[in-house]
Chains A and B, each alone.
Chain A
Amino acid sequence: MDARLRRVNKEIADCKNDKTSSIKIEMIDESPFHLKGSFVGPEDTPYAGGKFEVDIVIPESYPFQPVKMKFLTKVYHPNVSSQSGAICLDILKDAWSPVLTLKSTLISLQSLLCSPEPNDPQDAEVAKHYMTSRGSFEQTARYWAQIYAGAPGGDGKAVKQVDDEVAIAGLEKAHVDQFESLGFPRGKVIDVLRRLNYRGANVAQITDDRIVEELLK
């Protein structure tokens, strides 16, 4: 058995035997080099209580090259792509060290959720949202955790489909309604307002003309 397989086996066993941490690793298919990890969102964050799944691919030259990880669960976070789940974390790139393990890397991801780094973003729009209005950002992140990661609280089922879209984009319903009433399609309004980061203090800075201009493009 080659060294890589032996090490991965040990790591999976290590996670199975550790009952104190919430980190879990399971195989997706029969290959031990394509795994699915999961952990619980950290307490006192908008992600608390959610179950976050991570796709893990172990490269040929592991452990000398970093593991490839991306979120399978949609996460609203400045360092995670809201579209693809790609993660911007130094230890997954140039700060990787061969002594890091799947478990320690997943714990790092868990702590990344506690401490976003908006100055080195993966998702620029989310990072802008985080910078302009923390409260609104956390509300949206919590909402995402509730609908995608199964976090407790929030009566998501009672909310109508249309309001879901607005909440997912992290926008105010009143703002969307305002521009929709001008005759623009709702989807486009949400798209433009999200791109322009029409939230918090930014609302006062962006003129209505600017938005209409964007909507007409």
Chain B
Amino acid sequence: MVDAISTRLLDSVPDPTDFPPQENAPGLRKLDSTFRCTICGEVFDAPVTTRCGHCFCSGCLRPALALKQECPTCRKSTNEMHIRPNYVMEEAIMCWGESRTYILELIKREKEAAEAVSKAKASQRSHKRKRSGSTSSVEMLDCAPGPSSPRTPRRRQHSPRKHKAVDLTTVPSSDVDEDELSSINLNPKPNQIVPCPLCSKTVAYKDLNTHIDRGCKDFSKEKASETWSKILSKPPNKQKGKQRCYRKHSDSDDEQPLPLASYATLKDRQLREMLGDHGLPTQGDRSLLEQRHQRWVVFYNTNLDRSLPNRKSKSALRQELKKWEETHFKVKKPVVQDAKEHVKTHKSEFSKLVSIARGSQPQITSTIPSSVSPQPMSPG
């Protein structure tokens, strides 16, 4: 029974072993494990880098550094100020998330096909030995966009928008498709949109020369006026500029990471105010308040380590916090403050329980309400 439970649990957790081993699918297992945080074992969520170059989920590294200020991997000393978001990794794992299922699907299909073939062969000529399934997955890999595919097509995949422009200026390389070559018009019309051979920006053919003469820096008219109105309406704010340099990669102006609070120096009232400022519930005992705030700071700062389009809203973060609290504190029963009052209010329940206990009926357990603590039963 234990084994059944464990296998059920194990099946539901995706991990690098979903892929065939190294000899059948070179690099795939390792690739999957490189995209995983060594603390939680999941594919990175809001990946960040320490100053020693190791990568973790922001939400894993921050609590770890709060306990001990060293890199969990190499033990070099580091602290929260050194954490930098890793946007390239973030993008890579998003792509991996999509392609992972696709690759697994391909592997599965290939395996099924191989099995069908071997079955058919076995039934056709029973004297011939069965083909082993392991060789087939290697064949399959050649068609999958894995690390084994040649280098040039991968580059193209990386920057599809810039691709044509590059081909215009350079000698058409072997990876240019036939139809792409034919689509390049050597005598474009004046109003036709063409990519600039230098900066790859698309401009009308008649404007191309002016564009290049200006060092590829000209804007369209609307854009120019937009920029000017922006400059004129918002005089540069010195303070904001200063703040921004802390987190210059992010485009957001007002979002700053929350500082860690030293709870020992905070009064209950101050702590409640801090929670209230972020729109969080303020009820609960001291340790719950502290843990709630601590967790909120982790959620909040983790969110800032995501690239702007991937950030969650504040209300989504609050929902996440609520969920976290529910899973972590549901086991704790409410503490009875006033024992006498408690006995009074639950008298009928207690007397019922007592009568059941005296009768020693077998269905006792089903009738006991879960919220009633057993201590007040003894005097009755």
**Chain A contacts to B: CB under 8 angstroms:** 1-3, 5-7, 9-14, 16-17, 27, 29-30, 32, 63-64, 97-99
Contacts and interface: CB of A to CB of B under 8 A. Distances in A.
B95 interface: no
Name the interface size band of chain B.
20 to 34
B41 A6 contact: yes
B142 to A, nearest CB: 26
Interface stretch (B4-12, B124-132, B225-233, B303-311): B4-12
Contacts of A30: 1-2, 5
B39 A98 contact: yes
Contacts of B64: 64, 98
A13 B13 contact: yes
Given A9-B10, A29-B2, A64-B63, A97 B75 contact: yes
B17 interface: yes
B327 A10 contact: no
B67 A12 contact: no
18 contacts: A1-B13, A2-B327, A6-B41, A6-B42, A10-B41, A11-B41, A12-B10, A13-B10, A13-B13, A13-B17, A27-B2, A27-B5, A32-B6, A32-B9, A97-B70, A97-B75, A98-B60, A99-B38
Interface of B: 1-2, 5-6, 9-10, 12-13, 15, 17, 38-42, 60, 63-64, 67, 70, 72-73, 75, 327
Nearest to B64: A98
A64 B57 CA distance: 14
A95 to B, nearest CB: 8
A9 B9 CA distance: 7
A98 B68 CA distance: 10
B6 A27 contact: yes
Contacts of A97: 70, 72-73, 75
Nearest to A3: B40
Contacts of A1: 12-13
Contacts of B39: 63, 98-99
A10 B33 CA distance: 12
Contacts of A13: 10, 13, 15, 17
Nearest to A65: B67
Contacts of A14: 15, 17
Nearest to B70: A97
Given A13-B17, A98-B64, A99-B72, 9 more contacts: A1-B12, A3-B42, A7-B40, A9-B9, A10-B13, A14-B15, A14-B17, A63-B39, A97-B72
A9 B73 CA distance: 21
A63 B56 CA distance: 14
Nearest to B13: A9
A98 B67 CA distance: 11
- Of listed B13, B17, B41, residue having the most chain A CB within 10 A: B41
B232 to A, nearest CB: 50
A86 to B, nearest CB: 23
A16 B17 CA distance: 11
Contacts of B70: 97
A110 B12 CA distance: 31
Given A12-B10, A97-B75, A17 B17 contact: yes
Given A3-B40, A63-B39, A98 B13 contact: no
A63 B37 CA distance: 12
Contacts of A5: 9
